[in-house]
Structure formats: structure tokens, C-alpha cells
């Protein structure tokens, strides 16, 4: 023991701290001073060793009782009450759980499990009509799949992998580093615990091969931009027979020539003649459902006014009902008039009193009042 620093002070706990408080304090400090988080820092490494020395003592009831009674002297050569040396061969059963939760490693565990295959992404473009009605589509993607000749084992048909001699099939090897026993993936079998002596010729020992695959994708009605469809188990095959990942289909909807979309609402803009705007009337809008929706135009409608047709919009995804169709009116001023039309308009203009267009009348009256105020 190089420096006789009080163990309780090292772990920053009271002498009455219970096991839960001790473990929590140790986790916090071990993470802070771990050499992997402080590469090349000798002070952090030394502090880390002291913290582990303190926790190994105080987490053991017998050693803690001896330390509380005799202090560091309890573990010095020849001292009574310790029941064996502290410096070597200590019980590290609990350290495995702690380091696994903090650093992702494991102490004393079994061999590493084959990792699951990666999830994959596929971007699909569909029309707004497809999004309205839904559809069944077929896609073709190149994905790593389980090798058929070796059934994903990576070994030639008729042979099998053997247990790794270096790690004894555990997938991990241990090495002493100062005060600690460190476990690492076996460099011979790379954590599998098995070695393939005769690799499969098709997959070269990987257990999976890249191949084109045709998949059916069911697109439900009401999907929108960014809707994600998951095909479970259709992603990349895991190595050596491990489970496959998932394939995620991301939908992108093409721009429509008539409609814009906002959730379940369909929006379109309809130009009408100024006579229809003045006298009122009706127009028809063909919907994505194949029906022709009649839109009544009230007399005197203005540009920008929105008219709503309930239930003629997009279907609710995985729900019931539909949104609305919204038609924004745009009054179009005629640009090509016949002589007769011009004559009729001039006659109409001669009958105007200003009451026909109250907004225009009100605007110019406000302009007149403002001008009067400026000149007074």
C-alpha cells in the first residue's frame, strides 16, 4: 500500500455509509478517473488504483470491519484480524457488474454473443394518389443474407467450428495489469469462442453474402412524407447465423400538379371569372377519390377566400375518416375582351355608385382623410 490515505475520504463518503452509497460513490469516481477517460495521465491512473483499493476493502464486510478497527495496519504483514492479505487475489465479483455498466465491458461473463445484423434504410418515392389509396409495391435491394451452403455458420458444409484453444471457448482472455485483472476479447477467435478451420467457400467464413432480394411493401392509405415502414428481419443478416436487422422504408411523396397537402387537408387554388365572383355560381373539382366535388361560389366572393368541402381530403393514417378539401378562390381579371364586352363594361361602369365595392370606397375615403390631415 503506497499511500495511507483514508479509504472513506478517497470514496468521499461517511464512515456510516451503507453498501448502496459505497457503490454509487465508487461508480462516480471510477468513471471520472478511469485511464481510458484520461489517457496518459499518471495522476488519474494512480487515483484510480487507490479508489479501487479502497472500494475492494470497504465492500467486503470482514475487511471493512478490520479496517474500521485497525486502519491500514490491519493489512500489513503480520497484523491480526485481517484474515489474509489484501493486496493480492481479492474478490472482484462486484467489479465486473460495475465496469460492465460504466464501460460496456464484462468481467467473468460468458463468450460474446454474435451481434445482430445492421438496420438498413430504403427511400421510396410514391405519388399523392398512392398515398391516398395505398398500394402494394415491390422493391429490389442488395442486402447481406444468410449464406445457404453453410446455413450461416461460416464453415464448409460437413464441417463445424471448433472451440478456441486460446480462450477455452469463453471468447475472452484475462491479463494482469498491476492491481487489476483485465478481460479483453480473445484475439484468436475475436470473441466468438470458436475458430473456423475450413471456411465456407461461398461466404469465406463470414456466414453471409450480398445478394439481390425482392420484397413486398404494403403502403397503407394516408401515409405522408417521412412515414416509415418497418420490415422486421429484412435488414442485414447477422454474422455467423446471428439474427438479421430490420429494413426501414422511408416514403417521399412526389409533388402533385393540382393539390398541396397539409396533414389530412388537401389544398388547391381555383381561378374564377370576375362575373362568377360577382354573381356567384358553382365549379367542380375532381378529387383523388375519383369523384367530382361541386363547390358553390357565393356572390361577391373575393380573391383569397377559402371554401371547404368536408371529408374530401386525405384519409387518416391507420384511423377512420378523411380530412377536408380546401379550395382557395382567385378572381381573374379578363385580359382579352371583345368590342362588345368592352362596351357592356363601360355601360356598367357608368352605373357605378361606389356602393358596389365597399372595400374600395372605404379605402379611398381613408386616403382622402389622410391627405386632408397632412395639408391642414
Known binding residues for Zn(2+) = 147, 150, 164, 167, 186, 189, 200, 203
Grid cell in block for residue 176: 494482469
Burial of 239 (0-12, 13-18, 19+ CB in 10 A): buried
Query: Taking the CB of residue 335, how many other CB atoms lie within 10 A of it?
Result: 5
Q: Which runs of E-coded beta strand occur in the chain?
A: 120-126, 135-146, 162-163, 172-177, 180-185, 194-195, 208-219, 228-231, 247-253, 260-262, 265-273, 281-286, 292-297, 306-309, 325-332
Q: Output the nine-digit C-alpha cell for 226.
A: 417521412
Lookup: cell for 213: 432480394
Angle CA 347–353–359, to nearest 5: 115
The CA R_g of the chain, rounded to the nearest whole Å, is 39
How many CB atoms are located within 10 Å of the residue 356 CB? 12
Give the angle 39-41-42 at the CA atoms, nearest 5°. 130
Cell of 79: 497484523
Q: Which residues are annotated as a binding site?
A: 147, 150, 164, 167, 186, 189, 200, 203
Contact status, residue 167 vs residue 186, Cβ threshold 8 Å: yes
- Point out which residues pair with 194 in neighbouring strands: 163
CB 126 within 8 A of CB 189: no
Cβ-Cβ contacts under 8 Å for 369 (sequence gap 6 or more): none
Q: Give the residue from 340, 325, 316, 318 showing the smallest Cα distance to 292.
A: 325
Identify the DSSP state of 315: B
From CA 132, how far away is CA 145, in angstroms rounded?
Answer: 34
Amino acid at each position: 500500500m503506497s499511500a495511507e490515505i483514508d479509504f472513506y475520504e478517497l470514496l468521499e463518503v461517511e464512515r456510516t455509509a451503507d453498501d448502496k452509497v459505497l457503490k454509487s460513490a465508487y461508480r462516480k469516481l471510477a468513471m471520472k478517473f478511469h485511464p481510458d477517460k484520461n489517457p496518459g495521465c499518471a495522476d488519474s491512473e494512480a487515483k484510480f488504483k487507490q479508489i479501487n483499493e479502497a472500494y475492494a476493502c470497504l465492500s467486503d464486510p470482514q475487511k471493512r470491519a478490520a479496517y474500521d478497527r485497525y486502519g491500514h495496519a490491519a493489512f500489513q504483514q503480520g497484523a491480526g484480524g485481517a484474515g489474509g492479505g489484501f493486496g493480492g487475489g481479492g474478490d472482484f465479483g462486484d467489479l465486473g457488474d460495475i465496469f460492465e455498466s460504466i464501460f460496456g465491458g464484462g468481467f467473468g461473463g460468458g463468450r460474446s454473443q454474435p451481434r445482430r445484423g445492421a438496420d438498413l434504410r430504403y427511400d421510396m418515392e410514391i405519388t399523392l394518389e398512392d398515398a391516398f389509396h395505398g398500394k402494394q409495391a415491390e422493391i429490389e435491394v442488395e442486402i447481406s443474407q444468410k449464406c445457404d451452403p453453410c446455413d450461416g455458420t461460416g464453415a464448409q458444409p460437413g464441417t463445424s467450428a471448433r472451440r478456441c484453444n486460446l480462450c477455452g471457448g469463453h471468447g475472452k482472455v484475462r491479463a494482469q495489469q498491476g492491481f487489476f485483472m483485465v478481460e479483453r476479447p480473445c484475439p484468436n477467435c475475436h470473441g466468438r469462442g470458436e475458430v473456423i478451420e475450413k471456411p465456407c467457400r461461398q461466404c469465406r467464413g463470414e456466414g453471409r453474402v450480398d445478394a439481390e432480394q425482392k420484397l413486398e411493401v404494403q403502403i397503407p392509405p394516408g401515409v405522408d412524407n417521412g412515414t416509415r415502414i418497418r420490415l422486421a428481419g429484412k435488414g442485414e443478416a447477422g454474422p455467423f447465423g446471428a439474427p438479421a436487422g430490420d429494413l426501414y422504408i422511408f416514403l417521399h411523396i412526389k409533388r402533385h400538379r393540382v393539390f398541396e397537402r397539409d396533414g389530412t387537408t388537401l389544398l388547391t387554388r381555383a381561378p374564377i371569372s370576375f362575373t362568377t365572383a360577382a354573381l356567384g355560381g358553382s365549379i367542380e373539382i375532381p378529387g383523388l377519390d375519383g369523384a367530382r366535388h361541386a363547390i358553390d361560389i357565393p356572390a361577391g366572393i373575393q380573391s383569397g377566400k377559402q371554401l371547404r368541402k368536408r371529408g374530401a381530403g386525405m384519409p387518416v393514417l391507420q384511423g377512420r375518416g378523411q380530412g377536408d378539401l380546401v379550395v382557395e378562390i382567385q378572381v381573374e381579371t379578363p385580359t382579352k375582351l371583345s368590342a362588345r364586352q368592352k362596351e357592356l363594361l363601360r355601360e356598367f361602369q357608368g352605373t357605378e355608385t361606389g356602393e358596389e365595392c365597399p372595400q374600395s370606397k372605404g379605402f379611398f375615403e381613408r386616403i382622402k382623410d389622410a391627405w386632408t390631415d397632412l395639408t391642414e
